[in-house]
Chains A and B, each alone.
Chain A
Amino acid sequence: MKRVAALVVALALIGVTTWLVWPSAPEVRGQDQKITVVDGPADDQRVELDTTFFPPPDGGKAPVVLLAHGFGGSKQSMRDQAIRLAQEGYAVLTWSARGFGRSTGQIALNSPDYEVKDVKQLIDWLAERPEVQLDASGDPRVGIAGGSYGGAIALMTAAFDQRVDAIVPQITWSDLADALFPNAATTTQTTAQSTAQATTEAEAESGADSPAAPEAGAASGVFKRMWAGIFFGQGVSLDASSLLGPREAAGPLTPQQARCGRFLPEICDIYQDVAEDGRATQEAIALLRKSSPVTVADRIKAPTLLIQGQRDSLFPLSHADANAKAIAAAGTPVSLAWFDGGHDGGNGEADWLFEQSSAWFARYLKGEGSGAPPVSAFTVTRDGGRDPGTRQRIRLHPEAGSYPGLGGTDTTTVELAGPEQNIVNPPGGAPASISTVPGIGGLLGGQGNGGVSIDMPGQSAAFESRPLTAPLQLTGSPSITVRVTGEGEATLFAKLYDVAEGNQLPTLPAGLVAPVRVTIPEGAGSTEATIALPAVDHRFAVGHRLRLVVTTTDMGFATPAAPATYQVSLASPALTVPTVRTLAAAPTGVAWWVWAMPLASIVVAAVLLATGRTPARLRRRPVRASATEPASIPATLEPGVPNTTPASPPNGKPATPTATTPNGQSPDAASATGTAKDSPSDVAAVVNGSSAEAAPVTSVDTAVVASTDVPLEITGLTKAYRNGELAVDGLSFRVEKGQVLGLLGPNGAGKTTTMRMMMGLIHPDDGEIRIFGEPVTPGAPVLSRLGSFVEGPGFLPHLSGRDNIELYWAATGRPVADAHFDEALEIAGLGKALERAVRTYSQGMRQRLAIAQAMLGLPDLLVLDEPTNGLDPPQIREMREVLKRYARDGRTVIVSSHMLAEVEQTCSHVVVMQRGRLVSTGPVSQLLSSAAVADGHGPRLEDVFLDLIGDKA
């Protein structure tokens, strides 16, 4: 136990030391700077940007990363991320964009004339810093990362400044006009004439080549009024965190500020214009396109990791898709990740995003050799069920080697069914259906799948599939062709629900809807439109149905106020569902430790076992003799006495049958002689040993023999208690064959400890015990010649007495015939009680059964500890006879007892111990005769004993 405690303490010390010494992340100090830049279409506007520069913490030159904040944020929003990135060995610059935080200037929506020029000058400034690694003079090794508004500036800057070496734009737009005026419909052949009217100049300019790109474009798009309001308004910020802190702008607002906030007046004017009637004007589209990466993405040469949120109704996955296609078309490496987050909330996966960004920068800023894990071309975050330990949701990140686009690598066709249905647009557009409430999802940190979706009755048409027979993993943008009958322009919203059986509400994956605006040609009465449904990654389970719902309203969008009625039906029942076959969970393989750990542990186990083996007993062997060589003839040898042990060499090994004083044959000696016949070695002893005079117990010091015939020889035996006090202290004595030895001593003298050491149960600290010449070790085979009863009986309480005895014998593995059950059980004298469970026995019965167990197999040496405890006087008397007779058969008995009168009558020899030491030894008769006759009657052992232990009254 002490060792265990010491081990625990040592481990704890090691742990604490490691904790203290473990290199903590280097400290990063930011340097606040005001950097003045000049921008504007004519390069004549001075703007002071509030920046913080974080030099690489370990000194030297390092690549630099610009971290751009989102809309409504400032450089403070990026501080934690900047420190973390700097600790990875980068210089980092954060800044408040013009119009945000403490920077001056007005918001120009990442315009090439304003914000892009600002960032180019920040890169110029960085090129002068001594801490920044340069590719060439004036050209630092630089990357840009940021989310939303910050993501767009990363893309725009990379397009206009070729010095940028890598970018990680997150949850950002490709086409701001399309984001605010989306139209997911592609009207088909029957309405070809209507497309001319919808095609805009801007559309041609963008050259959008996505098959899902709305033919009609932003000009006919449905105004995403709630998001736009938040985007342009002062009331709510996109950056939820800025709502929590105190607003930086102080003081009452001027009328101009109240109207436009910190926007450039021309942007503000255009917004007010379009927001009024929900229609995109050409100026608005031109202005928004100017701030849209998709128009310039073909110029981007910096490797780009696009991270887009799956829960984003502002900039849905299709924006990353458009960006990726445009950038890849220029031959620039692009990777995409769809994570669990976005403007509508979700988990956010901040750590995973950081790892991905960090790996991207490591690869393209630090170089291939940086040991960063590769970033796959396409990664999707999926629900991985629950953690086996915490039962929390876990996320998997399956990867694909190439990005297949929103059309997937394969498509599955799901048949939808439903009649033509009438739907109405309510006057004023209220009440409106709800899919996602912008700005709320993020604030609530909604983890649910899409939150609340409500379709108003009478406003929606539903088409449903049969229950799925196999799970369907949708990855991308499904499409369906519907026929809309009515008049004029129809504004509709299409959503694809996952409908489970039973009481569960249908779920709208990611809470996304596809807004559709189609124009029904005059006179035709109807038109067909192919709708690109929102791009999502969603698994439809077996038994679930897919339900397409077409509604006339959605709370997030501007819908016409005029009442109208339409009929909606499926032009074709086939819903095309894209799937991505190549997406597979990262090939984990078998972790190395799976096979290494068990192997190592088996090696450790083998070492533990091998080193823990009891070392070969190199105890000091008595010099005088060894058990294997012929011993000299002992002084006590009586000539003519035959060997009692067949194994002894024929030249006359010592045979000293030292029997007790004959005390008269006991009437039931028949049993004893009967038993003796069974073992030939004992017959001789019985025949020849009867006349033997009591031989002295030879102390080892005077002994000349340690032979296989000496039943017990103890030499210098020492054992300390755990507290260091000696239980047995240098004990030496020797017992000869045929003796009944009484082991006497007061409580605590070390008698039981000595007996336990004889049985190999405890290890002596020093000295040695030999039984029949063999040293005693735990489990030494010679112990099979020892029968023992020490410190009470030990039986299995649930078994009967007979079962106990028989199973004990079976456990020794010796032949049943050698057991002599009958003799032993006769000694126990339990009669019918033998068949009862031992737990029902009295103390005396157990005692007798235990002595019987000790005598099983008639061992050559019998060790009994207080055998008469709990026996009644007749039983004591009988036990005395049994022991005497047992020894007379040439065997040896060692008895410890307190009952001195008992010892006096039973034993031929005694060993007196006190405090672990040998006090006296010798035949009982000698001991008694040495004592002075104190009073009238003859000497009693009691007097001698008390005298010896120095406790005589």
Chain B
Amino acid sequence: MTTATGYAPNRTLPLRVEIVRQFKRRRTLAMFGLLLALPWVLVIAFQIGPQSPGEEQSLRISDLATQSGLNFAAFALSVSASFLLVVAVALFCGDTVASEANWSSLRYLLAAPVPRDRLLRQKLIVALGFSAAAVICLPVMALLAGTLAFGWDDIQVPGTGEVIPALDVLPRFGIVIAYAMVSQLVVAALAFLISTMTDSPLGAVGGAVGLWIVCTILQAVEALGVLREFLPTFWNNAWLDALQPELDWSGMAKGASVSITYAAILIAIAFRRFRHKDVVS
């Protein structure tokens, strides 16, 4: 008998168990609370802010936000995609292994034994699931809050002011959310990689966000020319193309390509490193 009765490697650390382990954490709950509250905070901000005199027909996304629930959701996504969602995704993916190492519970899981590849796989699936939930819940809540506050109306496109019927735009909204998720894959993979290398959860989150910020800064260096297209942050706002009258895939295709490329390699490195790592925490 080489194993304890009832032990099977592929039954270890079921997703359900990992979800419960992570979901009861304060920072998980706080992050979701923040994401769900933000649209309401924005609604209040728009309501109490000084109303612009008359119908100012500016076509900036922030000025159009109060036109309809859909416009508001687009606005909420545009203001949060560049940083808040990055932090949320980095938190869920960067914290997952590093915090176990920090609590010393990692070694007991590994000695249980949960095979290392399986441990990473299950944790990655759960972390990505939480990240996806974060990316979804913000615009959906914004849509709800916006519709309650500003009514259900057709969307007015920023920049050109064209109007797209609300029902046509709903599937586009699905594309926007899907693209937002794909584009955050880089952050997720990066945070996850750092998470397997450090014992400090905040180090993993901070490292991922820090590298993200560095990319954003590099992206502003126009001298880099076409090289900037390969920065993971460059196509972050490409989802705006999905809200144009003519759906333009090219930016999103490039963004998804860059994102998947980085994510696949970073995750592979994470698995490879973790297999051989001496767990000393």
**Which A positions have Cβ atoms within 8 angstroms of B?**
385, 387-390, 392, 470-471, 500-503, 541-543, 588, 590-591, 593-595, 597-598, 600-602, 604-606, 608-609, 611-614, 627, 645-647, 708, 756, 759-763, 772-774, 778-786, 788, 790-799, 803, 807-808, 810-815, 818, 853, 857, 859-860
Q: Return the CB mask of B91-108 against A: 1 if under 8 Å, else 0.
A: 000000000000111111
Give chain B nearest CB distance to A385 CB in angstroms. 7
- B11-25 interface code vs A (CB 8 A; 1 in, 0 out): 111101110110011
Contact with A along B227-254 (1 / 0, CB 8 A): 0100101111110000000000011011
Q: Which of B213-235 contact A (CB under 8 A)?
A: 216, 219-220, 222, 228, 231, 233-235
Q: Can you list 13 A-B pairs with a CB-CB distance of less than 8 A?
A: A387-B222, A388-B219, A388-B251, A503-B56, A627-B2, A708-B1, A756-B280, A779-B113, A807-B17, A810-B17, A811-B12, A812-B112, A859-B4
- Across the interface, A762 reaches (CB within 8 A) one of B233, B257, B280, namely B280
Q: Are A811 and B17 in contact (CB under 8 A)?
A: yes
A594 with B254: CB separation less than 8 A: yes
B220: chain A residues within 8 A (beta carbon) = 389-390
Comparing B132-140, B141-149, B173-181, B260-268, the segment that makes contact with chain A is B260-268
Please determine whether B17 and A470 come into contact, CB atoms closer than 8 angstroms: no
A390 with B280, Cβ < 8 A, contacts A542-B161, A783-B113 known: no
Cross-chain contact A781 with B7 (CB below 8 angstroms): yes
Rounded to whole angstroms, the CA-CA distance of A476 and B268 in the bound complex is 55
Is there contact, CB below 8 Å, between B268 and A389? Answer: no
Docked Cα-Cα span, A788 to B116, in Å, equals: 17
Given A598-B261, A810-B17, also A502-B105 (CB < 8 A): no
Residue of A nearest to B113 (CB): A783
CB atoms of A811 and B112 under 8 A apart: yes
Chain B residues 1 to 45 lying within 8 A of chain A, measured CB to CB, are: 1-14, 16-18, 20-21, 24-26
Tell me the complex Cα distance, A793–B108, Å. Answer: 9
Question: What's the minimum C-beta distance from B262 to chain A, rounded to whole angstroms?
Answer: 8
User: Given A608-B269, A785-B4, A812-B112: A597 and B280 within 8 A (CB)?
Assistant: no
Instruction: With CB as the reference atom, state the residue of chain A lying closest to B250.
Output: A588
Contact flag A759-B110 (CB < 8 Å), given A614-B276, A813-B11: yes
- Interface-central residue, B159, B216, B264, by most chain A CB under 10 Å: B264
Residues of B within 8 A of A602 (CB): 260, 264
Rounded to whole angstroms, the CA-CA distance of A818 and B118 in the bound complex is 22
Determine if A786 and B238 form an interchain contact, defined as CB atoms under 8 angstroms apart.
no
A645 to B116, CA, bound (A): 28
Q: Are A797 and B257 closer than 8 Å at their CB atoms?
A: no
Closest to A389 in B: B219
B51 within 8 A of A: no
State the Cβ distance, B118 to closest chain A Cβ, in Å.
8
- Chain A residues with CB below 8 A from B47, complex form: none
Interface of A is mostly: loop
Do B257 and A760 have beta carbons less than 8 Å apart?
no
Q: How far is the CB of A783 from chain B (nearest CB, A)?
A: 4
CB-based contact A708/B2 at 8 Å: yes
Measured between alpha carbons, how far is A614 from B274 in the docked complex, in Å?
11
Q: Are B219 and A390 in contact (CB under 8 A)?
A: yes
Collect the chain A residues with CB atoms within 8 Å of residue B26's CB: 798
Specify which chain B residues have a CB less than 8 angstroms from the CB of A542 in the assembled complex.
160-163
User: A601, A627, A759, A795: which contacts B103 (Cβ < 8 A)?
Assistant: A795
- A759 contacts across to B, CB distance below 8 A: 107, 110-111
- A779–B57 CB distance below 8 A: no
Contact A601 B254 (CB under 8 A): no
Sample of 9 further A-B pairs with CB below 8 A, known A543-B161, A818-B4: A388-B236, A389-B234, A594-B253, A612-B271, A614-B276, A761-B107, A761-B278, A779-B116, A782-B3
Chain A residue nearest to B105 in the complex (CB): A794
Q: Does B222 lie within 8 Å of A853, measured CB to CB?
A: no
User: Is there an interface contact between A502 and B162, defined as CB atoms closer than 8 Å?
Assistant: no
B279 interface residue (CB < 8 Å to A): yes
Kindly list the 9 A-B residue pairs having the minimum CB-CB distance in the complex, ordered from nearest.
Answer: A794-B104, A813-B11, A605-B268, A647-B1, A612-B272, A389-B219, A779-B115, A762-B278, A794-B105
- Interface residue B166 (Cβ < 8 Å from any Cβ of A): no
- A275–B111 alpha-carbon span in the complex (Å): 97
* Minimum Cβ distance to chain A for residue B261 (Å): 4
Q: How far is the CB of A123 from chain B (nearest CB, A)?
A: 37
Complex formed: what's the CA distance from A503 to B189 in Å? 47
Contact partners of A609 in chain B: CB under 8 A? 268, 271-272
Say whether A778 contacts B275, CB under 8 Å.
yes
Residue of A nearest to B13 (CB): A811
Of the candidates A601, A774, A779, A807, the one whose C-beta lies within 8 Å of that of B21 is A807
Q: Report the contact-size class of chain B (Cβ under 8 Å from the partner).
A: 35 or more
By a CB distance below 8 angstroms, the chain A residues around B18 are 811
Complex: how many Å from CA A740 to CA B17?
34
Tell whether B59 is near chain A: CB-to-CB under 8 Å. Answer: yes
Q: For A781, what are the chain B residues with a Cβ–Cβ distance below 8 Å?
A: 2-3, 7, 9, 113
The residues of B that contact A790 with a CB separation of less than 8 Å are 107
Provide the residues of chain A in CB contact with B84, threshold 8 Å.
none
A807 to B25, CA, bound (A): 14
Check B258 for interface membership: any CB of A closer than 8 A.
yes
Tell me if A500 and B264 are in contact (CB < 8 A): no
One of A598, A708, A784, A794 near B113 (C-beta < 8 A): A784
Contact A812 B234, beta carbon cutoff 8 Å? no
Chain A residues with CB under 8 A of B161: 541-543
Q: Which residues of A contact B108 (CB under 8 A)?
A: 788, 794, 808, 853
Residues of chain B within 8 A of A778, CB atoms compared: 110, 113, 115-116, 275
Mask: chain B, 200-220; 1 = CB below 8 Å from A; 0 = not: 000000000000000010011
Q: Are A763 and B104 within 8 A (Cβ)?
A: no
A760–B235 Cα gap in the complex (Å)?
Answer: 43
Whether B280 contacts A812 by the Cβ 8 Å rule is: no
How far is it, in angstroms, between the C-alpha of A761 and the C-alpha of B109 when the chains are bound? 10
CB distance from A820 to the nearest CB of B (A): 12
- Pair A470/B162 contact, Cβ less than 8 Å: yes
Contacts of B250 in A (CB 8 A): 588, 590
User: Would B24 and A388 count as touching, CB distance under 8 A?
Assistant: no
CA–CA, A780 and B257, complex, Å: 37
Q: Is the CB of A388 within 8 A of B8?
A: no
A346 to chain B: closest CB distance in Å?
18
Whether A608 and B272, one on each chain, are in contact in the complex, defined by CB atoms closer than 8 angstroms, is: yes
Complex Cα–Cα for A591 and B219 (A): 20
Establish whether residues A762 and B279, one from each chain, have CB atoms under 8 Å apart when the complex forms.
Answer: yes
B114 at the interface (CB under 8 A from A): yes
Contact status A796-B112, CB under 8 Å: no
The answer to whether A782 and B261 touch across the interface, beta carbons within 8 angstroms, is no
Which single member of A646, A763, A782 contacts B276 (CB below 8 Å)? A763
B113 and A601 contact, CB distance less than 8 A:
no
Complex Cα distance, B269 from A611, in Å, reads: 11
Residues of chain A within 8 A of B234, CB atoms compared: 388-389
| B7 in contact with A601 (CB, 8 Å) | no
Task: Give every chain B residue within 8 A of A810 (Cβ-Cβ).
Answer: 14, 16-17
Which of B1, B6, B24, B262 is close to A818, meaning CB atoms less than 8 Å apart? B6
Of listed B238, B262, B275, residue having the most chain A CB within 10 A: B275
Instruction: Tell me the smallest distance from the CB of B168 to a CB of chain A, in Å.
Output: 16
**Closest-CB distance, B12 to chain A (whole angstroms):** 4
Q: What is the bound-complex CA distance between A502 and B57, given in angstroms?
A: 6
Cβ contact within 8 Å between A773 and B113: no
| Inter-chain contacts of A608 with B (CB < 8 A) | 265, 268-269, 271-272
- Asked if B114 and A785 sit within 8 Å, CB to CB, the answer is no
Most chain B CB within 10 A, of A590, A593, A598, A797, is at A598
Residues from chain A with Cβ under 8 Å of B107 in the complex: 756, 759, 761, 790-791, 794
In the assembled complex, the CB of B109 is this many whole angstroms from the nearest CB of chain A, namely: 6
For residue A773, which residues in chain B have a CB less than 8 angstroms away from its CB? 2
Least CB distance, A835 to chain B, in whole angstroms = 14
State whether B4 touches A813 (Cβ < 8 A).
no
Q: List chain B residues, Cβ under 8 A from A799.
A: 21, 24
Establish whether residues B275 and A612, one from each chain, have CB atoms under 8 Å apart when the complex forms. Answer: yes
Bound complex: CA A612 to CA B117 (Å)? 11
CA–CA, A763 and B274, complex, Å: 12
> In the bound complex, how far is the Cα of B274 from the Cα of A779, in angstroms?
12
